[in-house]
Structure 1
Amino acid sequence: MPEPHRGFRFPREIIAHAVWLYHCFSLSLRDVELILAARGVTVSYESIRDWGIRFGRQYAAALKRRRPRPGDKWHLDEVFIRIRGKIHYLWRAVDQNGVVLDILVQKHRDTNAAKRFFQKLLSGGTEAPRVIVTDKLKSYAAAKRDILPKVEHRQSRYLNNRIKVSHQPTRRRERQMQRFKSIRQAQRFLSAHSRMHSHVQLRRHLIPAVDYRSFRDAAFRVWRDVARIAITE
């Protein structure tokens, strides 16, 4: 397999660390540039942006392949985002453990849009869940009848707090980036951001400190493996 970082002035460890910083924390490109400069790495924020575009989705796809089997209870929701002044919708699904399953940016939130999102969630051989939890948007029920007819469907605005929380990092990044420029850019960025952010930002308030540190170390090991960084024992 060819080395994807070949031809770059910086080694893959620095490139991977810059992309990791940008997606896992609420940092701007210039913030990442400053952090690297403090460590003796002089690189422009434009280069960091290019690294994110080129490698972000590759890292996210590798993390998706390494993720544990999704839980059997899925929470689905959609929020509006503005792209060039027009309202679009970000569809998101997480399991009962808060793991992001997938996202999809679309122009509408009708039945066809819900069907496309269900089909994306089930692509790649993913098993259907036991339960899906949504708000009372009728498009979910209509799409579920066709694609997930045997799955239990719970509709309540109060049962979906878990995914409402999952939207918050996206809102922060949307404000920081001064909104998205196109559907393609939003889909590309958020696919990487949602996967990488949720991989390391564990829900620490729900688990004991010892378990949290163990899970955190495991997440770091997976990340280093995904980014093809040699681990020094």
Structure 2
Amino acid sequence: MKMPSKMPRLKGFRFPREIIAYAVWVYHRFALSTADVEYLLAERDVTVSRETIWQWVNRFGGHFANCIRRDRPAPDDKWHLDEVVSPTNGRKRWLWRAVDANGDTPDILVQPRRSAKAARRFLKRLISQFGEPRVVITDKLQSYFKPIRDLAPGADHRAHKGLNNRIEGSHRPTRKREKLMGRFKSPKQAQRFLAAHDQINTVFRPRRHQLSTVSYRRHARTDAFGLWDGYIAEMNV
């Protein structure tokens, strides 16, 4: 990965910001463990513990996610909503996720229930950020019906499990990370990690099947690295 050089060092950190940002990037982009990232850095003559890498991921993952949210276009007004069980610390929790028609993730929310109250909280959070949707697609969970009718009365609500394949596929990276991390330890950890993970993957996982090789290499990938370099320059403590 091409990194910018001669950037000011972060106050209180022994390693340059480029090294810290590289660790955060590979951890999220390639579904690696902190031990894997430790080995990648060691190959580059950077000796750092996996505990330190985990601290970097926690501390700066949110920074990159916030920058991406700030700069990305507004999501499409056709939303897919779904919820999936995500056990944390031995207790059942539910990960509520929204995906727009382009496959991007506007928001996620980890909640203890799969109820109408939880659906209302999530939908209200989405509408406060992005306005009312034109179309909402869900499965046949009854908890969605009244909140959507109350909060987005003008939306076309389509409740059909077969129409929601787009968001069903978006849960796969989460399952992969859960397996790698041995489950999330708390709802706060899951919310913090997945909020950053989904946003970073939005930038570095374009819909490649829709792009020619030239478009992918010269534009999509180059633009993604250019954005990332700009976000590195904005890092602060």
Tell me if TM exceeds 0.5.
Answer: yes
User: What residue in structure 1 maps to residue 178 of structure 2?
Assistant: 174
Taking the aligned partners of 2:60 and 2:171, their CA distance within structure 1 comes to: 23
How do residues 2-151 of structure 1 correspond to structure 2 at under 5 angstroms? 5-124=10-129, 126-151=130-155
Taking the aligned partners of 1:211 and 1:141, their CA distance within structure 2 comes to: 41
Where 2:64 maps in the other structure, the secondary structure is helix
TM-score by length of 2: 0.91
Question: In the alignment, is the contact (CA less than 8 A) between 1:25 and 1:197 conserved in 2?
Answer: no
TM-score by length of 1: 0.93
| Residue identity in the other structure for 2:199 | R
Taking the aligned partners of 1:38 and 1:4, their CA distance within structure 2 comes to: 22
Q: How many residues align?
A: 227
Where 1:26 maps in the other structure, the secondary structure is coil
* 1:163-197 superposed Cα distances (whole Å, 9 cap, x missing partner): 11111111000011100111111111111111112
- Give yes or no for the alignment of 1:199 onto 2:203: yes
Taking the aligned partners of 2:145 and 2:220, their CA distance within structure 1 comes to: 36
Where 1:145 maps in the other structure, the secondary structure is helix
Where 1:76 maps in the other structure, the secondary structure is strand
Question: In the alignment, is the contact (CA less than 8 A) between 1:91 and 1:103 conserved in 2?
Answer: yes
Give unpaired runs (5+ residues) of structure 2.
1-7
Q: Percent identity?
A: 52
User: What residue in structure 1 maps to residue 166 of structure 2?
Assistant: 162
Where 2:86 maps in the other structure, the secondary structure is strand
Structure 1: 4+ residue segments shifted above 3 A:
none
Give the superposition deviation at 1:207. Answer: 2.7
* 1:114-166 superposed Cα distances (whole Å, 9 cap, x missing partner): 11111221234x22221111111111111101111111111111111111111
| Residue identity in the other structure for 2:168 | K
> Structure 1 residues 4, 109: CA separation in 2 closer, same or farther (over 3 Å shift)?
farther
- Give yes or no for the alignment of 1:222 onto 2:230: no
| Residue identity in the other structure for 1:109 | R
Question: In the alignment, is the contact (CA less than 8 A) between 1:128 and 1:148 conserved in 2?
Answer: yes
| Residue identity in the other structure for 2:165 | N
> Structure 1 residues 111, 210: CA separation in 2 closer, same or farther (over 3 Å shift)?
same
Taking the aligned partners of 1:4 and 1:122, their CA distance within structure 2 comes to: 39
Question: In the alignment, is the contact (CA less than 8 A) between 1:80 and 1:89 conserved in 2?
Answer: yes
Give the superposition deviation at 1:73. Answer: 0.9
Taking the aligned partners of 1:219 and 1:163, their CA distance within structure 2 comes to: 23
Report the RMSD for the aligned CA atoms in angstroms.
1.7
Where 1:91 maps in the other structure, the secondary structure is strand
Give unpaired runs (5+ residues) of structure 1.
none
Taking the aligned partners of 2:15 and 2:139, their CA distance within structure 1 comes to: 46
Give the superposition deviation at 1:4. Answer: 9.3
Question: In the alignment, is the contact (CA less than 8 A) between 2:138 and 2:159 conserved in 1?
Answer: yes
